[in-house]
Structure 1
Amino acid sequence: MSFTPEQARRSAFVEHGLSSLRMASDGPLAGLTFAVKDLFDVKGFKSGWGNPDRLREASEAVATAPAVLVPLMAGAEMVGKTHTDEIACGMFGMNPHFGTPLNSAAPGRVPGGSSSGSASAVAAGLCDFALGTDTGGSIRVPASFCGLFGLRTTFGRISTAGVMPMAPSFDTVGLLTRDAGTMRRVADCYFGPAEQRIAPRLLLARDAFEIPVQAVGETLLAVAQSMEPARETRLFAGGVDLWLDTFRPLQLHDLWATFGAWGRMPNRTLSPMVAQRLDLAATVDPAKLAEAVVQRERLMDALVETLGDDGVIVLPTAHDLPPLLEAPLSKQVEFRERTLALTCVASLCRLPQINIPAAVVDGCPAGLSLIAGPRKEHLLLDVAEQLAARTS
């Protein structure tokens, strides 16, 4: 599938966003350009959230989100706002209202969501980095699909003020770049340079590599083993279902609390998939929700203890290659559930995770992920830079 730069631009950027914004001429990010997912407020512009009703009803933002101000004040130029799955509710980047952004790394396949436009813009070389959000994998999955570095930051470490809440007990700000060096530059602007470097202790989550399809799992396992991890660890000691059964009621209840009333307004324009998701969210059993709240803390405490100050868990990002654009809905549902088994770990435990474009399988990117303890983004970046240097 061939495409022009203009086609790539139209598919990635929203029409109601700005074309250029610069607030500082000097700084550590001077000379770099970036894009912002259309969930982040930018003063004087609307945030459409991937929904036509929201775009029509929204007022222009009165302030710019702090997460956007950081790179602007560091000298970077913002070049637009990017498409997202409708109300960030999706894993594939397919928005029936505004279209599907191009996956230039694998044309004919989905870009991944919900930070689809941000990933599309970076992968196509339309900007140097992009901001997105990650709730259950919305940075990590598009990074894997589009062959990018994608960082989900520690929950609460970057402000989500002025960012559309989807599932507030999970939502984080994330970053997308084409190379590890740019990721380091941007991350340092948010967190400051690491004051002390720690040698990482790599832990191979052997059972996580049993989740992907054979070709993806075997390829990524070989890359992971070449990193000479300290030892193997069992990530899903209580079984994969324990993690999914904890994640689902918490995330769905958050979604319903945030969007239930809005979604049920008369004549609301919603895609069938999002309407179905909201209907499901309305049925969460309060008893299961209460149980999941406690179980989440147990899972997080155990994983944080395993990681300590220097631990880094190595696992696949997604269970398969990006689906074809024409894949039936049934295949998308199956894909989401299997990949969610991998992405829900960091989401539930509020931990940082980075996707590394580690391999190509059947002509498509396949990402390897690293998870570290709270506020250990620099540890992830150290390992990512080392692996990138070896696989480039």
Structure 2
Amino acid sequence: MNQFDKTNISDPFVSKNTIEPYSPGELNGLSFAVKDNIDVANEITGYGSPGWINTHSEPVVNAICLEQLLNAGGKFQGKTKSDELAYSLIGVNSFYGTPLNPKAPDRVPGGSSSGSASAVASGLADFAIGTDTGGSIRVPASNCGVWGYRPSHGAISVSGVLALAPSFDTVGILAQTGKILEKVMQVLLAENSNGSNAFSSVCFVDDVFQMSDRQILDKITPSLNKISDICKVQTLKLAEITDPHVNCNWLFEQLGFLLSTEIWNTFGAWIKNEKPELSSGVEYNLHGYAESANRKVIQSSLCAKKAFQNKISNFLCGGKILCFPTTVDLAPRLDEITPDFLAGEYIPRAMGVNAISSLSCTPQITIPVAEANGVPVGLSFISGYGQDMSLISFCNQLNT
């Protein structure tokens, strides 16, 4: 299959084997789907890859997050498509097609939780579970005009979830509304919402605003004005929040190197021993970036990650929230997705912004706030580690 076949728009589901709720609970009446890197008993977890399917067997039990949702009254609608090996932010899979972006049909849905975002935006599920390593919940949520949530790292169980880069991998949620997102968070975090605003101020991250497309900035201005009306606000650069050398390009370099190292640790032996079928793009990325990453400098990058995490935590511990556009570019058009485009600046720009949460291990929620020429635009909020339920309460209050 041609990786860049623009007509290959596909159904968001890999399978539609439903499971009824185990018992009534907080999610009564809500339907959901899970990304195809999350185990469903007796179905091969495909990982968006025929090579993976051909070399792995069916799991015998459900992932813990799936069990939690079924026990809370949610109805399972099926498994959704993913980018191949969850190794992209675009949403184009050369083997299984590109799930529709129903809010902007000529645009990509974003990845790698592409099918999950598409299913929610299409109204085929009230919410969906995906994974986020370097932006794979947040980017498709913004592109498809739905709510998206990356938790405090480690807050939601990843038992039964296939690994990509384990020290960055998280289970995340895509939802039609903030209220639905809040209910699902309560179940997966096993934590009640306090409904209160525990935050003292909002900080606009100037680096991200300066990078953003003018169309995005124009459309989010009313939301920023609303925040300014009801909250104490300030505008700071990342260098002022953390250290003088920190900007989005530096964050991309640190995240990109650490992800590449872990991704090869995850897949290297499998690739060498099994020689699985891979698309040309994923094969190039695995060998050209992941395998070739210089392991001799990993200690310095790990130290840089820890220092950044500490600086962000210290800044946020006083009840502050960071706010910025979820993506600095509109969702790319399907006809833009070429090898040259993928080698360009879109992915480094998107990853640099998403690296704020990924490297600091903090929770991030993206809200659909506007459309620019018919393309959804998301606005993101980051709070201190462990303040996930307070953050969703704040976002829901803001959205009223």
TM-score range, shorter chain: over 0.9
> Which residue of structure 2 lines up, in the alignment, with residue 290 of structure 1?
299
DSSP 3-state at the match of 2:266? helix
Question: 1: CA distance between counterparts of 2:318 and 2:175?
Answer: 26
Unaligned runs of 5+ in 1: 1-7
Looking at structure 2, the residues matched to 342 and 240 of structure 1 have their Cα atoms a distance apart, in angstroms, of 6
- Work out whether 1:168 is the aligned partner of 2:155: no
Aligned residue identity for 2:80: T
Aligned length, in residue pairs: 380
Q: Which moved more, 1:196-205 or 1:272-281?
A: 196-205
Taking structure 1 as reference, are residues 196 and 79 closer, same or farther at Cα in structure 2, changes over 3 Å only? closer
Residue 74 to residue 9, structure 1, CA distance change in 2 (3 Å)? farther
CA distance in 2, matches of 1:287, 1:222: 47
Q: Does 1:240 align with 2:245?
A: no
Q: 1:9 Cα deviation (Å)?
A: 11
How much has 1:273 moved relative to structure 2?
1.3
**Corresponding position: 1:194 with 2:193:** yes
2 CA distance for matches of 1:218 and 1:91?
24
Distance 2:399 2:196 in 1: 18
Partner residue, 1:350? 361
- Give deviations 1:102-133, integer Å, cap 9, x for gaps: 00010011000000000000000001000000
Match of 2:311 among 302, 316, 326: 302
Please show how residues 87-98 of structure 1 align to structure 2 within 5 Å: 87-98=85-96
Query: For the structure 1 residues 140 and 99, does the alpha-carbon distance in structure 2 shift closer, same or farther, using more than 3 Å as the test?
Result: same
The offset of 1:266, in angstroms, is 5.7
The secondary structure found in structure 1 opposite 2:335 is coil
2:11 corresponding residue in structure 1: 11
1:67 is matched with: 65
CA contact 2:134–2:168 (8 Å) conserved in 1 = yes
Is residue 2:233 matched to residue 1:230? yes
Q: What runs of 5+ residues in structure 2 fail to find an aligned partner?
A: 1-7
CA distance in structure 2 between the aligned counterparts of 1:125 and 1:133, rounded to whole angstroms: 20
Partner of 2:341: 331
Give 3-state SS (helix, strand or coil) of 1:190's partner: helix
Aligned-partner Cα distance in 2 for 1:248–1:288: 13
Deviation track 1:188-231 (CA, whole Å, cap 9, x = no partner) reads 11222135734322111122101112221343345224301422
The 5-angstrom pairing of residues 1-392 of structure 1 reads 11-14=11-14, 17-191=15-189, 192-195=191-194, 197-200=196-199, 201-228=201-228, 229-236=232-239, 237-238=244-245, 239-265=247-273, 267-279=275-287, 280-327=289-336, 328-333=338-343, 334-389=345-400
Q: Deviations over 1:9-34 (max 9, x none)?
A: 961000xx352102424111011100
- Equivalent residue for 1:3? none
Q: In the aligned structure 2, how far is the partner of 1:242 from the partner of 1:95?
A: 29
Give the TM-score normalised by the residue count of structure 2: 0.91
Contact (CA 8 Å) 1:66, 1:159: kept in 2 or not? Answer: yes
The residue type paired with residue 206 of structure 2 is R
- Structure 1, residues 12-67: CA drift from partner, whole Å, max 9, x if none? 000xx352102424111011100000001011111000000212232111111111
Q: Helix, strand or coil for the counterpart of 1:270?
A: coil
Deviation track 1:222-256 (CA, whole Å, cap 9, x = no partner) reads 52243014222222442333212211211100000
| CA RMSD across the alignment | 1.7
In 2: Cα distance, 1:134 partner to 1:158 partner: 12
Whether the 8 Å contact between 2:151 and 2:363 is mirrored in structure 1 is: yes
Asked whether the equivalents of residues 309 and 359 of structure 2 are also in contact (C-alpha less than 8 Å), the reply is: yes
Aligned match of 1:4: none
Q: Kindly indicate whether the alpha-carbon contact (under 8 Å) linking 1:36 and 1:132 is maintained by their aligned counterparts in 2.
A: yes
Match of 1:5 in 2: none
Q: CA deviation at 1:367?
A: 0.5
Contact 1:208 1:235 in 2 (8 A): no
CA distance in 1, matches of 2:9, 2:335: 22
Residue type at the aligned position of 1:194: S
